[in-house]
């Protein structure tokens, strides 16, 4: 626990200095990061200076930014005291959302999801998986995760790198582990992104696996590799092209349709009507990356238009501010959007 926080500001200056004393030097080392990279990240984002003096950190800057930096440092140190790690993503999350996380937005409570929604009563939201906990890093991500737990059908729409699919799979894994669903079903349209790959070698699995690889990548982040293989073999996890969903009723399953902007209107209607008892369905897509032939309407566009007023269907939207990949990705998205 932090033992002392001293704040001083001279009468003729707009600069505030806050000194925070940390009793555990080993935790302080982890807080600062390798070569003080965590401190450098906070300095860069908030425009402050952080000086290390023994077991103290002095934060110097304009009052609002200095106080925000102090709160971020305190939140990260508390995380270390709880036995958790502090990585780049954790620093980024605290900088985006503040020490306690922001208030929830949207999404009504689903009667069957009250126990899962308990996590939203505190400041931090954590999705538990077999390999690691996953935490939303922006307000929009937090609202999206809440919507996934609270609604039987939810949409996540926005640019690449905003965590739409990753968080959906994480919630699916969490609900599967806790016994709320019996299966995880992941699907996406097998549409090539602007180039013809021709006929691919191998059996049906070999042919469709390249299109499904992002879904495998997400699963491997949440389950040990051997367990993923076993669950797929047992059909408790299914990864299949959208075309394979026709004629099925998906009961007691967590179902994700990724890259939904590349589903046609008929395919989207077919998929949405697969929803069975005890299931939850998530549709993710990016309206700026439609790879359908010219003149073919995106099923995601039609679903937004037709379903937006139906109760208990949640629509969550992301912008370039929610990109959690490399910082250049957000800048690239903004540049393309500005050129439209």
Q: What is the pLDDT of residue 102?
A: 43
More confident residue, 15 or 191: 15
pLDDT at 120: 56
pLDDT score at 237: 94
Task: Report how many domains make up the chain.
Answer: 2
201 or 148: which leads in pLDDT: 148
CATH of the domain at 74: 3.30.1370.10
Read off the pLDDT band of 151 (50, 70, 90): very high
pLDDT for 324 equals 84
Q: Per mean pLDDT, which range of 108-117, 175-184, 292-301 is the poorest?
A: 108-117
In-domain check, residue 106 = no
Question: What pLDDT shows up at residue 144?
Answer: 95
Residue 166 has pLDDT above 90, yes or no: yes
Q: For residues 53-64, give the mean pLDDT.
A: 90
Domain shared by 44 and 171, yes or no: no
Q: What percent of the chain has pLDDT above 70?
A: 82
| pLDDT tens per residue, range 304-328 | 999 999 988 999 999 988 988 777 8
Question: Do 303 and 232 fall within a single domain?
Answer: yes
Q: What is the CATH number of the domain that holds 266?
A: 3.40.50.300
For residues 245 and 307, state if they share a domain: yes
262 and 139 part of one domain: yes
How confident is the model at residue 7, as a pLDDT? Answer: 67
Query: d(Cα 278, Cα 252) in Å, to the nearest integer?
Result: 4
Q: Are residues 123 and 72 in the same domain?
A: no
Instruction: Look at residue 234 and tell me if it is in a domain.
Output: yes
The answer to whether residue 198 scores a pLDDT higher than 90 is no
For residue 30, pLDDT beyond 90: yes
pLDDT confidence of 193, banded at 50, 70, 90? very low
Predicted confidence (pLDDT) per residue in 109-127, tens digit: 444 455 555 655 556 688 8
pLDDT at site 188: 87
Which structural domain range is residue 279 located in? 111-338
Domain stops at, among 70, 97, 124: 97
Q: Is the pLDDT of residue 204 over 70?
A: no
Q: For residue 107, what pLDDT is reported?
A: 41
Q: Are residues 177 and 212 in the same domain?
A: yes
Q: 17-20 contacts: CB < 8 A, separation 24 or more? A: 17/58, 17/59, 17/60, 17/66, 18/58, 18/59, 18/60, 18/66, 18/67, 18/69, 18/70, 19/53, 19/56, 19/57, 19/58, 19/59, 20/56, 20/57, 20/58, 20/59, 20/70, 20/73, 20/74
pTM over the 0.75 mark: yes
Q: Is there a domain that residue 121 lies in?
A: yes
pLDDT band (50, 70, 90) for residue 47: very high
């Amino acid at each position: 626990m932090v033992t002392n926080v001293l704040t001083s500001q001279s009468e003729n200056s707009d600069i505030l200095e806050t000194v925070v004393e940390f009793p555990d030097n080993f935790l302080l080392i982890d807080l600062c990061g390798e070569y003080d990279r965590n401190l450098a990240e906070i300095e860069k984002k908030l425009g402050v200076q952080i000086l290390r003096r023994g077991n103290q950190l002095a934060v110097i800057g304009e009052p609002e930014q200095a106080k925000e930096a102090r709160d971020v440092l305190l939140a990260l140190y508390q995380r270390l005291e709880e036995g958790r790690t502090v990585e780049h993503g954790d620093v980024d999350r605290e900088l985006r959302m503040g020490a306690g996380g922001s208030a929830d937005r949207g999404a009504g409570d689903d009667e069957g999801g009250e126990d899962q929604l308990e996590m939203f009563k505190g400041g931090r939201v954590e999705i538990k998986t077999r390999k690691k906990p996953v935490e939303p890093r922006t307000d929009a991500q937090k609202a999206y995760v809440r919507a996934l737990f609270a609604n039987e059908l939810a949409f996540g729409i926005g640019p690449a790198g905003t965590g739409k699919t990753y968080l959906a799979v994480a919630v699916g894994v969490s609900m599967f582990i806790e016994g709320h669903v019996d299966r995880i079903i992941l699907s996406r349209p097998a549409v090539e992104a602007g180039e013809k790959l021709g006929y691919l070698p191998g059996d049906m699995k070999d042919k469709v696996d390249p299109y499904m690889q992002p879904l495998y990548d997400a699963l491997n982040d949440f389950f040990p590799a051997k367990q993923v293989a076993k669950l797929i073999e047992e059909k408790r996890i299914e990864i299949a092209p959208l075309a394979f969903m026709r004629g099925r009723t998906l009961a007691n399953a967590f179902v994700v349709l990724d890259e939904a902007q590349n589903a046609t209107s008929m395919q989207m209607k077919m998929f949405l009507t697969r929803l069975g008892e005890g299931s939850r369905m998530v549709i993710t897509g990016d309206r700026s990356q439609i790879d359908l032939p010219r003149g073919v309407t995106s099923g995601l566009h039609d679903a937004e238009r037709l379903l937006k007023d139906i109760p208990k269907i949640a629509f969550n939207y992301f912008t370039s501010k929610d990109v959690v990949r490399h910082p250049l990705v957000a800048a690239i998205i903004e540049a393309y959007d500005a050129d439209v």
